């Protein structure tokens, strides 16, 4: 029986060397008849699914986007990936269709960033890659994350509208914005979330009525929120809203010792000696650079190629607003990072540690994944 489930006659079954050309691509296929090759069969199935999806859409832009995406995937050797995850991609495309039908306008970078969070765009897989390569998504991952965080903060402030303690939350937000050393948007989002949760849990009309007992009850319920709650309480004490007796005992975290860092460096170096593939080496090198330079992993992953300076005597990296000499352990690895594949150079990629898409750098989650494999 053929792949198309057509019965094979006795004469053909006896002729094991029989072949025919695939009617779509011309590739030689075993057997007789007009059956398509495996790849063309998947491509045909993708087009059928795409047609079924656009029949449910009402916006012409979304319909064209769906057909263009499937055509791009089929034409670039990604037909199997589309076939495996078509339900997930169709869900995102239908969401775009519904949003365009309601709001109108064009499907562009601004529209997509407003519709999807950074995490949702990441989960789209090759659909996000298609949008990136075709120019629908122009911002890199860091810019998308900042936009997403700004939207989440706006949503938090809208949710407290009309609450009796709304002015306390908004005052805390203005206080964080006015700090000399700016807080990251991620920190602001977390601090606002904990402040709102604390006020809701305490069931007080204003933050001035918070008590030690209410605070202790909340922290017993959410022990991981101690540091974030401390920021809100510090603001309340600074503005005189609560008594100075309201204290939070913060547990001092243990910093990794020099011996611990040295062991981790040796483990990563040992692993690098046996890892050849570039996509497996990058996360390990990023972590190694983070340890040896004493820099946060997030800052290391955001390094660009123009922040590397190589010379015959060694290498320098621009970190913490200054050029720092690279330790001997990573100088050779820095040269490896500078020697990017020609395809990366042609695409204009400028990240030292590039991610899956040309405009994105490697994520901390990807680094942690490879570190977990190292620790397994």
pLDDT band at 359 (very low <50, low <70, confident <90, very high): low
SS (H, E, C) the chain: CCCCCCCCCHHHHHCCCCEEECCCCCCEEECCCCCCCHHHHHHHHHHHHHHHHHCCCCCHHHHHHHHHHHHHHHHCCCHHHHHHCHHHHHHHHHHHHHHHHHHCCCCCHHHHHHHCCHHHHHHCCHHHHHHHHCCCCCCCHHHHHHHHHHHHHHHHHHHCCCCCCHHHHHHHHHHHHCCCCCCCHHHHHHHHHHHHHHHHHHCCCCHHHCCHHHHHHHHHHCHHHHHHHHHHHHHHHHCCCCCCCCCCCCCCCCCCCHHHHHHHHHHHHHHHCCCCCHHHHHHHHHHHHHHHHCCCHHHHHCCEHHHEEEECCEEEEEECCEEEECCHHHHHHHHHHHCCCHHHHHCCCCECCECCCCCCECCHHHHHHHHHHHHC
pLDDT at site 249: 55
**How much of the chain, in percent, has pLDDT values that exceed 70?**
86
Could you report the per-residue pLDDT of 84-107, keeping only the tens digit for each?
Answer: 999 999 999 999 999 998 888 888
pLDDT at 340 over 70: no
Could you report the per-residue pLDDT of 219-244, keeping only the tens digit for each?
Answer: 888 878 888 888 888 888 888 767 64
pLDDT at 245 over 60: no
pLDDT at 1 over 60: no
pTM: 0.49
Mean predicted lDDT score pLDDT of the chain: 82
**How much of the chain, in percent, has pLDDT values that exceed 90?**
25
Rounded to an integer, the average pLDDT of 286-302 is 87
pLDDT at 138 over 80: no
């Amino acid at each position: 029986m053929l792949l198309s489930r057509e019965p094979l006659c006795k004469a053909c079954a006896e002729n094991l060397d029989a072949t025919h050309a695939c009617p779509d691509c011309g590739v030689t296929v075993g057997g007789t008849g007009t059956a398509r090759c495996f790849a063309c069969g998947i491509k045909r199935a993708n087009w059928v699914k795409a047609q079924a999806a656009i029949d449910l859409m009402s916006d012409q832009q979304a319909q064209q986007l769906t057909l263009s995406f499937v055509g791009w995937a089929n034409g670039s050797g990604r037909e199997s990936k589309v076939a495996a995850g078509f339900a997930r991609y169709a869900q995102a495309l239908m969401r775009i269709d519904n949003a365009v039908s309601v709001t109108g306008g064009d499907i562009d970078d601004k529209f997509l960033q407003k519709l999807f969070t950074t995490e949702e765009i990441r989960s789209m897989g090759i659909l996000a890659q298609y949008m990136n390569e075709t120019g629908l998504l122009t911002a890199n991952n860091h810019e998308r994350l900042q936009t997403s965080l700004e939207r989440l903060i706006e949503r938090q402030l809208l949710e407290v509208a009309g609450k009796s303690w709304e002015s306390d939350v908004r005052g805390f937000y203005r206080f964080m914005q006015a700090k000399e050393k700016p807080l990251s948007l991620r920190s602001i989002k977390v601090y606002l979330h904990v402040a709102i949760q604390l006020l809701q849990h305490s069931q007080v009309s204003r933050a001035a009525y918070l008590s030690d007992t209410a605070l202790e009850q909340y922290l017993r319920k959410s022990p991981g929120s101690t540091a974030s709650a401390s920021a809100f309480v510090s603001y309340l004490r600074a503005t005189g809203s609560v008594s100075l007796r309201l204290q939070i005992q913060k547990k001092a975290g243990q910093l990794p010792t020099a011996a611990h860092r040295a062991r981790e460096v040796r483990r990563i170096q040992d692993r690098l000696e046996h890892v050849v593939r570039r996509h497996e080496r990058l996360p390990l090198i990023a972590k190694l650079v983070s340890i040896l330079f004493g820099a946060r992993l997030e800052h290391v992953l955001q390094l660009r190629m123009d922040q590397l300076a190589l010379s015959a005597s060694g290498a320098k990296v621009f970190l913490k607003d200054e050029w720092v000499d690279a330790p001997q352990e990573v100088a050779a690895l820095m040269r490896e990072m500078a020697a990017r594949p020609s395809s990366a150079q042609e695409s204009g990629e400028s990240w030292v540690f590039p991610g899956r898409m040309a405009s994105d750098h490697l994520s901390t989650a990807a680094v942690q994944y490879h570190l977990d494999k190292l620790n397994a």
